[in-house]
Amino acid sequence: MAASLMGCERGRRTVFLTGAAVLFCAMVGLEAAAQPAPPRPGEMADSVVSRLVAWRARTDQPVTLSVLTAFDWDSFSVIRTPAGMAMANCNREGFLPCDKDLQPSPDTLIQVLRFDRAGQSVYQERIMVASANFADPLPAAVPRSQATLVSCHDDQGQRLWCLQSKRPGREISPALRGLDGG
């Protein structure tokens, strides 16, 4: 049938317009698939740091870091690194405000949350809010199975994140194990 349509001008135009419509629909479908889905009510943002902040705002209970991540990882670390260049797009619609805490000088050391899988980094995020900072000593190559965080305080009373300690001789009751999200 398509060959018989191609023989006349009207048939060529019909085939061309049909092909263009199919191509347009495919492109719109691909573009829509590439867009991230808007968060549903009650869902946390994509940022792991924002999830840490949100968790602390809701509860002071321990949290397993795997609950806050939507990707696969084997271990996590927190490192200190110079802040580097300031964000160029702050104070524009849809971007972060130009708060001085969000724009530290390039040589200021900041914490960076890093997740690794098979020895390779799969996710890194700068920690730019005090309520998401980790206490010293910073976690280094902590296996996923041991990545349970609790709130702790520094010398000035500021709340920080610490690894939940597994003190020898202090076994957690099996009935209570699931309460920390693990």
Average pLDDT taken over every residue of the chain: 75
pLDDT at 48: 94
- pTM for the model stands at 0.61
Tell me the C-alpha distance between 171 and 146, whole Å: 15
Asked if pLDDT for residue 95 goes beyond 90, the answer is no
Report in angstroms the alpha-carbon separations of 48 from 52, 53, 130, 159. 6, 9, 14, 18
Tell me the C-alpha distance between 58 and 108, whole Å: 30
* pLDDT interval class at 39 (50, 70, 90): very low
Task: Report, as an integer, the average pLDDT of 138-146.
Answer: 97
Closest listed residue to residue 140, CA positions, set 166, 165, 107, 116: 116
Report in angstroms the alpha-carbon separations of 171 from 75, 76, 145, 147, 162. 24, 24, 16, 17, 19
Residue boundaries of the structural domains of the chain? 2-34, 48-180
Task: Report, as an integer, the average pLDDT of 48-60.
Answer: 93
Asked if pLDDT for residue 93 goes beyond 60, the answer is no
